[in-house]
Amino acid sequence: MDVDFEHYDRLPKGAVAFGRYVILGFLGTGASSVVYLCRDLHERGRKIALKVLRKESAYDPHMVRRFRNEINASYRITHPNVVRALQLYTNSKCEAYAMEYVDGQSLGEYIASSPTLLIKETCALLEQICSGTQAIHGAGLVHRDLKPDNILVSRAANLKICDFNTALSFSRTQEAHEIGEIGTLEYMSPEVITTGRADPRSDIYAIGVMGYQMLTGKIPYKANSEEQHVKLKIRGRLKSPSLLRKDCPRDLGQLILRACSSDPNKRFFTAREMQIALQRLDLNKRPGFLERLAEKASSLR
């Protein structure tokens, strides 16, 4: 029997949603939604993730718009480093959508498992992020909230970018938006902070911040207040990771600084350009490295 969304804050195990998805368990929750692990009765029982907008958010037109934007954006992208959207469901009681299930953890959790990551490990992860981001930009979208919590790491160490509720098409990225609507301060580029406008280079800035975090164990421009953090970020004086970590090659440190430049014109122009620069460092060629990376990802679950 189909579950009655109106009378459940959390769907019970074994319930069937939309006549198709058997609830297997609870995966996580966000500010406006809840995610469940399900078995798809129409697809030979394969596992999927079902994201359901919270009841209190379903009455907020802004939240509903962002939720629908997430799946509409996801529909436009088919790439191994981007979570694939499957189906939107909407009725008088709820908003929900089914998406690809990634058996693993967030990149944030993965990073937290080690004070700093291996140099080759960091480069391998960054290459995948760049590849997925290039696919997003190729679909005419800017993500606008790239961060470790919005990237999933599978047991096989494959990265998947997710959470597109703030994504916008290029035709709208030059509109000014409220800062609180378009990202996370630590990963937000200076031009987004000062103007509310974003373009693909804003996503590249976020990739640079993640690379800096993975290499040094620190967020760039960490400060005692948001105001001070913003001032430091706009000023743009950042120490190279190679000065903070002896085994970090100078070229890699300069690559990260370029991605994190406060001037968008000095960053990589595309995510593909940054990916190529990472590949030219020739740090990921040691046989067996990716296998060990996959083994580590699996052991953390």
Catalytic residues: 145
209 contacts 220 by C-beta, under 8 angstroms: yes
- Token reading at 149: 């919590």
Measured at the CA of 267, the angle between CA 264 and CA 270, to 5 degrees, comes to 105
- Minimal CA–CA distance to 101: which of 173, 45, 169? 45
| Torsion sign (Cα): 101, 107, 112, 116 | positive
Q: How far apart are alpha carbons 239 and 243 in whole angstroms?
A: 7
Residue 21: is it exposed, middle or buried by C-beta count within 10 angstroms (0-12/13-18/19+)?
Answer: buried
100 contacts 84 by C-beta, under 8 angstroms: yes
151 contacts 128 by C-beta, under 8 angstroms: no
259 contacts 204 by C-beta, under 8 angstroms: yes
Measured at the CA of 246, the angle between CA 245 and CA 251, to 5 degrees, comes to 85
126 contacts 157 by C-beta, under 8 angstroms: no
Give 196-201's long-range contacts (Cβ < 8 A, gap of 24+): 197/173, 198/142, 198/144, 198/168, 198/173, 199/142, 199/170, 199/173, 199/174, 199/264, 200/137, 200/142, 200/270, 200/271, 201/264, 201/267, 201/268, 201/269
Q: How far apart are alpha carbons 51 and 29 in whole angstroms?
A: 9
247 contacts 119 by C-beta, under 8 angstroms: yes
